[in-house]
């Protein structure tokens, strides 16, 4: 017995037409699609092995304190640069202007140089003085010679609280500048902190990403005497948190131990 073809193909055709009509309708499978999409996203999130951390994360920023080329790097008597003879890649000379004097063509890391030029301009507009560049980037070899010179001048004990050993200097990072205001005197002297320019820097440097690294009364933590002229660039984000938290050393800010002495000094005193 032969069947009429119409009875064989009609049901399939009806189902096909019905299905096409559903698909052609807007939002026909909207809810189902969203559910499937949501499930896919959840699965991807669960199976993700590494998730990028925000720069605002304290732990991520603290990780950067070990990186010699980072603005967050912490270098002191217990934390040498790695490598010890590190040299920054991108530096440039600071531009002299009515607000900034750089007769020795001193250099810094480019971002720090730009920030210091902006700081000097604002300081000049505030009538706090023209910023003078005394000492910027120092190479490993230069710092080695400088420390030897300080040792001859002050003896080893005196040199240890006035200058860093090569590989332990903030100047080697390219993020530091020793400054003064020539017209106000006290260049590279503690009395600079009492000048109009020194006071302005102590109050306002953080707004441009700088801190006075070695504040008065912090030698037991930093290992160095008071240096109101020593500006260290850490970036605006860290400088703002540092200022708002009323911190006076990077060691305390990051939760690192005091670094009054070098490891070899501690070892020698223990042996004695």
Per-residue pLDDT of the chain (272 residues; tens, 9 = 90+): 444 444 444 445 545 544 544 444 444 444 445 544 555 455 444 333 334 445 557 788 899 999 999 999 999 999 999 999 999 999 999 999 999 999 999 999 999 999 999 999 999 999 999 999 999 999 999 999 999 999 999 999 999 988 999 999 999 999 999 999 999 999 999 999 999 999 999 999 999 999 999 999 999 999 999 999 999 999 999 999 999 999 999 999 999 999 999 998 887 655 55
**Candidate list 117, 227, 251, 260, residue with the active-site label:** 227
So what's the pLDDT on residue 272?
Answer: 52
pLDDT at 268: 63
| Cβ density class 66-98: b for 16+ within 10 Å, e for less | eebbbbbbbbbbbbbbeeeebebeebeebebee
* Nearest-10 crossing angle of helices 110-125, 196-204: 120
Q: Which of 204, 197, 194 is nearest to 226 (CA)?
A: 194
pLDDT confidence of residue 136: 98
At residue 47, the pLDDT reads 37
Q: How far apart are CA 138 and CA 176, in angstroms?
A: 9
pLDDT at 271: 56
Q: Is 227 a catalytic residue?
A: yes
β 176-180/227-233 pair status = antiparallel
pTM of the model: 0.77
| Residues 6 or more apart whose Cβ sits within 8 Å of residue 191 | 185
pLDDT at residue number 52: 45
């Amino acid at each position: 017995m032969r069947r009429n073809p119409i009875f064989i193909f009609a049901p399939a055709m009806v189902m096909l037409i019905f299905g096409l009509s559903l698909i052609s309708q807007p939002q026909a499978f909207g809810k189902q699609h969203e559910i499937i999409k949501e499930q896919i996203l959840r699965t991807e999130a669960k199976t993700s092995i590494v998730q990028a951390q925000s720069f605002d994360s304290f732990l991520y920023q603290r990780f950067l304190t070990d990186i010699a080329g980072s603005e967050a790097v912490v270098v002191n008597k217990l934390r040498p640069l790695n490598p010890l003879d590190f040299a920054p890649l991108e530096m440039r000379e600071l531009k002299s202007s009515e607000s900034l004097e750089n007769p020795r063509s001193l250099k810094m890391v480019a971002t720090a140089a730009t920030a210091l030029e902006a700081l000097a301009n604002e300081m000049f507009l505030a009538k706090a003085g023209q910023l003078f560049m005394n000492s910027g980037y120092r190479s490993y070899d230069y710092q080695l010679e400088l420390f030897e010179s300080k040792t001859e001048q002050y003896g080893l004990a005196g040199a240890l609280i006035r200058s860093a050993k090569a590989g332990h200097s903030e100047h080697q990072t390219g993020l530091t500048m020793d400054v003064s205001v020539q017209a106000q005197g006290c260049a590279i002297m503690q009395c600079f902190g009492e000048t109009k320019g020194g006071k302005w820097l102590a109050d306002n440097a953080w707004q441009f990403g700088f801190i006075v690294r070695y504040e008065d009364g912090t030698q037991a933590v930093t290992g160095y005497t008071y240096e109101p002229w020593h500006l260290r660039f850490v970036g605006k984000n860290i400088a703002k948190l540092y200022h708002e938290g009323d911190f006076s050393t990077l060691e305390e800010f990051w939760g690192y131990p005091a670094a009054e002495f070098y490891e070899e000094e501690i070892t020698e005193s223990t042996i004695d």
